[in-house]
Amino acid sequence: KNSYYGAFYRRIATRRGKQRALVAVMHKLTVAIWHVLHDRTGHKDLGADYHTRKNPQRAMRRMIREANALGLTIRFDPA
């Protein structure tokens, strides 16, 4: 549940539906298995927060949009 593939599934399932998300995860796993077998390397999970770390501004925009949909106003100040 707390892995890259779980986060990928949840991201796709919200936009495309559960079945398409499941097929997308299976495809991603198949490609990863192929690379592990072909390159003879270990598999490294990127982590559930990979996309948040990759693009933090996008995560902030999403949080603001969700809060506005609930009728809240949010302001982020740099730490």
Q: Which domain holds residue 64?
A: 4-70
Domain-located, residue 35: yes
DSSP code for 46 = -
Range with the lowest mean pLDDT among 18-22, 65-69, 71-75? 71-75
* pLDDT band at residue 41 under the 50/70/90 scheme: very high
Helix or strand or coil: residue 24?
helix
Mean predicted lDDT score pLDDT of the chain: 91
Q: Is 50 a member of any domain?
A: yes
Q: What is the pLDDT of residue 73?
A: 86
User: Into how many domains does the chain fold?
Assistant: 1
Report if residue 58 sits inside a domain.
Answer: yes
- 76 is a domain residue: no
pTM flag (> 0.75):
no
